Structure 1
Amino acid sequence: MTVSIVAGRLSRRLKVSEFRQVWINSLRDDIASYLGVTQRRFHAAKMEEEQGKLFVMGNEASVILYRIKMRINPNENRHKEEDEAFIAALEKIQTTDGVPEVQLERHWATAAAEITLLARKLLKREWDTTKEFTW
């Protein structure tokens, strides 16, 4: 009986680890996609693309942003502040109100660098949690 309990727990632990790895990979893909679509939108706006195309790109970015947000724990936890900073950085990249046109490219590049740094920390943290999962 003890062997079956241990085997069951081990099986569950492996399954949870698999699900967490899929979650991490999906989050990584969505972050990269989000940065890509916001960059395309930024360059399209810079080239004065028609508003309809800009709207479609903005909508695509919003859908990806919502997927990312839904993956982040909304409850109080020890990483809440880091997670909120990450979400704020994601939102900041699309917010260009008040940024002078000559500084828009710097705005996007700075926001993208911040997102990348915070995402790397979040993904590393989640990977470490997956590796260190204990009963």
Structure 2
Amino acid sequence: MSDPVLSSVIAASVAIIGLIVSKEGKTSEFRQQWIDSLRQDLSTLIANTLHRAEDEIQDEADAVKVCNEAVARIRLRLNPREKNSQQLLGCVTKMAALNGVSTASHEELRRAANGVVAASQVVLKQEWSRVKRGEWRYVTVLIIAVSSLGIGLWKMFVPALPFLHR
């Protein structure tokens, strides 16, 4: 291959790798924002439920409205096809139902809150692991880039080492 063609191929490869890395980095940023927003809505739902359980809420209709808004945002964020999300949705639905019932006991509300905490920890851990690990395209491009660099260095330096050719 001629030098100009090789230079073009290398430049194009570097540009493609740069695009993929920046796009996947942005995807991870959005995923982190998603995690933070989900955590905020879950804490709003849990806090209002626990305040209601301890009769600390003055305006119950407003508290139910805040909980319903948080539940709607949580439902919109979760994937109903994923098993862990289904479990969290079930716990959130149960808590929402109890928030709408004025006869729900303090213990029922606390149990529902604990269920949401436990299920949300599984979902949040799963998503955080995905952010830490990186998007699959990023990981794949990184492996290909490092492998290509290794092969290139090997091809460049091995022929130049006279002790290997005896």
How would you bin the TM-score normalised by the shorter chain? 0.7 to 0.9
How far has the Cα of 1:3 moved from its partner?
Answer: 0.6
- Rounded to whole Å, the distance in 2 between the matches of 1:36 and 1:125 is 23
Tell me: CA distance 1:96–1:34, structure 2 relative to 1, closer, same or farther (3 Å). closer
Which 10-residue stretch deviates more, 4-13 or 86-95? 86-95
Q: Give the structure 1 partner of residue 9 of structure 2.
A: none
Q: If you compute each CA radius of gyration, which structure gives the higher value, 1 or 2?
A: 2
Tell me: CA distance 1:6–1:126, structure 2 relative to 1, closer, same or farther (3 Å). same
* Residues 1:54 and 2:60 are matched in the alignment: yes
* Residues 1:68 and 2:70 are matched in the alignment: no
Number of residues paired by the alignment?
123
How far has the Cα of 1:109 moved from its partner?
Answer: 1.3
Q: Give the structure 1 partner of residue 132 of structure 2.
A: 131
TM-score (norm 1): 0.80
Q: Give the structure 2 partner of residue 119 of structure 1.
A: 120
Residues 8-87 of structure 1: matches in 2 within 5 Å? 8-44=19-55, 53-74=59-80, 76=81, 79=82, 81-87=83-89
CA RMSD of aligned residues (A): 2.2
- Rounded to whole Å, the distance in 2 between the matches of 1:39 and 1:94 is 12
- Rounded to whole Å, the distance in 2 between the matches of 1:38 and 1:105 is 9
Matched residue of 1:95: which SS?
A: helix
How far has the Cα of 1:15 moved from its partner?
Answer: 0.4
Q: Which runs of 4+ in 1 moved over 4 A?
A: none
Q: Is the 8 A contact 1:41 1:58 kept in 2?
A: no
TM-score (norm 2): 0.66
Q: Is the 8 A contact 2:79 2:86 kept in 1?
A: no
* Residues 1:7 and 2:18 are matched in the alignment: yes
Q: Give the structure 1 partner of residue 157 of structure 2.
A: none
How far has the Cα of 1:111 moved from its partner?
Answer: 1.0
Could you list the runs of 5+ residues in structure 2 that have no partner in the other structure? 1-11, 138-166
2:60 counterpart letter in structure 1:
L
1:114 counterpart letter in structure 2:
G
Identity fraction in percent = 25
